[in-house]
A and B are shown apart, each in its own frame.
Chain A
Amino acid sequence: MKRESPIFRKYLRMLVISMGGLAFVVGMVHMLLVAETQRKAVAELLNAETRTASGQIQNFMDNTVGSLKWIDDLDEPGTPPDYDAIRDAGYRLLRRAPSVVGLSFFDSRGCERLSISRILPDTRSTCSDVPSAGPRAEILAHARAQGIAFSSVSFPDGSEPHLLLAIASRGQNTGGLVAEINLKVIHDSVAAIRVGHSGIGFVVDASGRLIAHPDQSLVLRQSKVPATFVVGTDSGGLNFATDFEGRRVATASRGIEGPTWRVIVEQPTSEALAPVYAALWTTGALVLAAVLISLFAGLVVAGRLAQPLSQLRDGAARIEKGDLSTQLNIATGDEIEEVADGFNRMARALADSRGHLEAKVADRTAALVATTQKVQQQAGKLTELNAALELRLQDARRRKDDAERANIAKTRFLAVASHDLRQPMHAVSLLVGLLGEKVSEPEMRNIVKKVQGSVDAMGELFNTLLDISKLDAGAIQPAIEEFAIAGLLDRVRRTFEPLAEDKGLLLSVATSTAIVQTDAALLERIIFNLVSNGIRYTHTGSVLLRCEPEDDRLRISVADTGIGIAEEYRERIFDEFFQIANSTQDRSNGLGLGLSIVKRCADLLGHDLSMQSSPSGSRFSIDVPCVGATDHVSGFTPGARAVSERLANAFVVIVDDDADSRFAAEATYRQWGCHVLAVESAHEVIFALEEHLRSPDLIVSDYQLASGHTGAQVIEAVRAYAENCMPAIIVTADVGRLQPNQLEGSCMVLQKPVGSERLKEVSEQLLACDTACDALVLRT
């Protein structure tokens, strides 16, 4: 058996820890208790010595005070002091009390009448002059207040410590006695203090200066007790310090009544704590012995426990190596022997089953080889399929990238193309309108009207393309605001009513007092597209726009009696360029972007958009947040119908850096009878206005001018020059660049191209507005 086996070490560790640890813990607790008990005993001993020593010092002081009182009694109240008697008694006291160096008697006036000394001649005074002064008189004054007073210790001649002790005589107006005491006499009492073998006692004053010490030299040198000593209150405890000789000592202290002195007793710690150390050594030796015994016992017991287990472990190892003939011979007579018997039976059973297992393993091995071959074949096929799949995935990613690039290119192309084409289209639109008004021949007017229709359609297509490109590019950020829906509904009605009448349709636009919270321009774009779409695909019947409040929303729905949307097209109805029944790609019906714009705007605003359709018509609905209602239905209504006259006489200022557009606008307004001033820049308009006595009635300006100015700045400059806040129209190819706060007063923004009819309509509306400088900004 290997005694170093894990089970042996485990048992050994357990036994040693349990037995030795118990002995150790018990020993430690015992050591602590013994140490604390001995420490208390030492503290009591030192404090007892301190009490004894302080008692001796106290007796000395009490005796001295008693003797002085005896003399002081000679000064009896009501009787003149007999100084001869007092002197006589004073010398008797000096004989009895060697510590008293001198005595002074003061009368009731505080005058020193008699002084007795061992060294100096005695003096007497009649005190005919001022009372005495000095330390003796001062200490007597204290004594009069409290009966007895002690001075602080002084060292006259730089040698022995002296103390002044004053006792007031009886009666309120009597004198007193002051004695000078040489404290060197205490030395004998202090030197007699012995604590143990080498412990000593000494006396200090309140500042820690030695008053008495066995080594008189320390006192005469006026030494102070080392800072490590505790000179405080009577705690009754034990302190440790380093004494004058550098010894580590245990100390205790006690105060003296009367003077603020303390008696300190010290004993070297090696001596004071000797019983503690002895007890600790004894306990420590016993603990060590107990640990060693537990170690020995652990070795024996662990060996006996681990031996059969090691046999079992060795037998198991032999079986592990294939030796199934292993049999153990353990006769411990306990459960371990039963385990060994079971082990032997198990070994025999294992040997028997081994043969069966080997046969089965051979069969299974053959089957496994066949299965493995099949799996390998299938794995080869799977690898080929994965390679093909990877190729397809790469192709799909490439196609997706191509499509995304193409979409981006398309969006960019549409944005640029539509913007750049707006300028000429605007001029063409105005010129065609002008042409229509100038031509009087019916056939020619018909041709011009068709041209006008084509130009309008083309302008609408450009607007649509620009909108979709902005939405795709993410250039539009919704500006959520609260506004009355009534104005929007009025514009829908006025915009599409002529178109519906041309097609013979009934356009019904509901009225509403609701105040909605959304982006006004985007909502208008949605409604306009839905209504436009309804009119476009409805040939007979009606187009109805309704507003239905639902909780905190307003459901705006556009229903038509058109051709409806077949089931198979409903999935694609919001796709770009998708049009139902327009296989000929007739662009007079639009590009198929209207519903795409509606869908993108609704998504951008987060409004729910729904669609219902049947062969008898379609219904599109959008839910808009509703925050309240106005108390009346209002809208933009033109003023009196003297508009045409106002326009005919109006003084219109046109500012446009595009010569064609400027020409077309100038010709158009002249055609309407206006007095027109058309210039290229802001500077020119001011110069030109100086030649006019009349103030402009209307300003029509492009927004982005070649001079770097904007149409808003032009309007502001003209209004400032004329000192009149006349209405203004900004015609721009890029509405998105305008910020509403850039425009002040009555001002309307039109997006190029603008047809002559639209321009005329807006001009008339603005001229009809009486409140020219109201904060009215209109966009279209």
Chain B
Amino acid sequence: MAASVTCLSRRRFCSLLLFGALPRSIASSPSGPSGPTARPILIALLSTGHNDSATYESLQTHLKDSLASIVPQLRITIREGGFSSELLVSQVDEIMTLNPSVLICMDLSAAIAASARRRNGNPPIVFLAHDDPLTYKLIQSYARPGNNLTGVTTFRCVDGKMIEILVDAFPNRRRIGYLFDSTAGDSRCNEQAEEAAARLRVDLVKIDVAAHGFIQEMGTRLKPLHLDAAIAPASAPIWQNRHAVVETLNDLSLPVIYESTLFLEEGGLMCYGPVRTDTIPQVAAYVRKILLGEPAGQIPVEQPTLFELAINLRAPHAAHFGISAATLRRADRILQ
């Protein structure tokens, strides 16, 4: 039985999948006394750091929904790098030995590492990125990414827009801190923020969150700067330490605008950024297309089109910040 399943070509598999007859086909093939079994379809998940279980569960649920006809054969394995590049590489190599049908990378760093360790461009990769894959040269274009990979990105550089919103919300606060990540490969967002600040005539104070020990000493390092407000883009250090970051900034009574609603859940005051509630289903849909035989490199990478300005009036000191009426009017969502 194992031999006959092994000999099932990819094309035949895809055609059978297309017509929804894969289980019957496999069941009707010669089988041993142990009963009908089918070749497992392995999908590997790889993350640079740690993802919450809700994300993995959501992804698995959508995968099973998309691939309902092959659920019995579906196998999913999860690997995490623990924010260690060595561990990430070893996890990638281990995944390669498993020869998965599709590799899902939960962030751009994982996708870059997996793409570099692949042999002959296999397995196909579907990534879920929060950075610009084009800048990192992971893809050739959004329309035709190539390299036998595709994915979804939530990235849109809105640093300049965040400064504009902050100035609108607090017209008298002209000294604004910019918590940026100097290790990020893309400097265009920094430039955009500086241009916006110059045009709006605000004093932009750049603060490197990637500096050694900054997160731990953020309060003591920011206090002497006498900031009126701050913007906190979703860089890796801030994203991974969002609870501590929000708490520290709230302790400083500093009005801050973040890039994700997750920061508001931690007590943040404002956020503006892309809203992608369909990224997980989209990744599942891409996996299905690839298993149906479509080349991953021909599936376009989608960018976010919806953005949300949310204001958390329940945040500490929110009532004392005096957010302008115009900003409250333009807010998409207000948490009270």
Contacts and interface: CB of A to CB of B under 8 A. Distances in A.
Q: Report whether chain A binds chain B.
A: yes
Interface of A: 84, 88, 91-92, 95, 98, 101, 117-123, 155, 157-160, 182, 184-185, 216-217, 220-222
Given A84-B326, A217-B298, 4 more contacts: A120-B160, A121-B196, A157-B303, A220-B300
Interface in B277-336: 289, 294, 298-303, 305-307, 326, 329-330, 332
Contacts of A98: 305-306
Contacts of B332: 95
A272 to B, nearest CB: 20
17 contacts: A95-B330, A95-B332, A98-B306, A101-B305, A119-B158, A119-B307, A120-B161, A121-B160, A121-B163, A121-B200, A155-B143, A157-B303, A158-B142, A159-B301, A160-B303, A216-B300, A217-B298
B157 A119 contact: yes
B201 to A, nearest CB: 12
Given A121-B200, A221-B300, A160 B164 contact: no
B303 A118 contact: no
Q: Give the interface centre of A98, A120, A123 by most chain B CB atoms within 10 Å.
A: A120
B117 interface: no
Interface of B: 141-144, 156-158, 160-161, 163-164, 192, 196, 199-200, 289, 294, 298-303, 305-307, 326, 329-330, 332
A216 B143 CA distance: 11
Contact of B143 (A84, A88, A159): A159
Contacts of B141: 158
A155 B142 CA distance: 11
A57 to B, nearest CB: 18
Nearest to A157: B142
A595 to B, nearest CB: 116
A117 B200 CA distance: 16
A405 B183 CA distance: 133
B161 A117 contact: yes
Contacts of B158: 119
Nearest to A182: B305
A220 B330 contact: no
Contacts, number: 66
A88 B299 contact: no
Contacts of A121: 160-161, 163-164, 196, 199-200
Contact of A160 (B196, B199, B305): B305
B143 A220 contact: yes
B199 A222 contact: no
Contacts of B305: 98, 101, 160, 182, 184-185
B64 to A, nearest CB: 22
A157 B305 CA distance: 13
A232 to B, nearest CB: 28
Interface centre among A84, A98, A121, A157 (most CB of B within 10 A): A121
Contacts of A120: 160-161, 192
Given A95-B332, A118-B307, A220-B142, A88 B326 contact: yes
B273 to A, nearest CB: 10
Instruction: Return the 5 tightest CB-CB contacts between A and B, nearest first.
Output: A220-B300, A91-B330, A159-B142, A121-B164, A121-B160
Nearest to B329: A88
A95 B332 CA distance: 6
Nearest to A116: B330
Contacts of A184: 305
Nearest to B165: A121
B138 to A, nearest CB: 15
A159 B158 CA distance: 18
Contact of A222 (B143, B157, B302, B307): B143
A158 B143 CA distance: 6
A95 B308 CA distance: 9
A123 B302 contact: no
Contacts of B307: 118-119
A637 B332 CA distance: 142
**Residue of B200, B289, B299, B300 with highest tally of chain A CB at under 10 A:** B300
Nearest to B325: A88
Given A119-B158, A220-B143, A221-B143, A159 B303 contact: yes
Given A119-B156, A157-B303, A91 B329 contact: yes
Nearest to A91: B330
A157 B298 CA distance: 16
A220 B192 CA distance: 27
A220 B153 CA distance: 14
A159 B304 CA distance: 11
A117 B163 CA distance: 13
Nearest to B307: A118
A92 B300 contact: no
A221 B294 CA distance: 14
A494 B126 CA distance: 137
B302 A159 contact: yes
A553 B9 CA distance: 114
A117 B302 CA distance: 19
Contacts of A101: 305
Contacts of B326: 84, 88
Contacts of A220: 142-143, 300, 302
A217 B299 contact: yes
Nearest to A117: B161
Contacts of A122: 164
B140 to A, nearest CB: 10
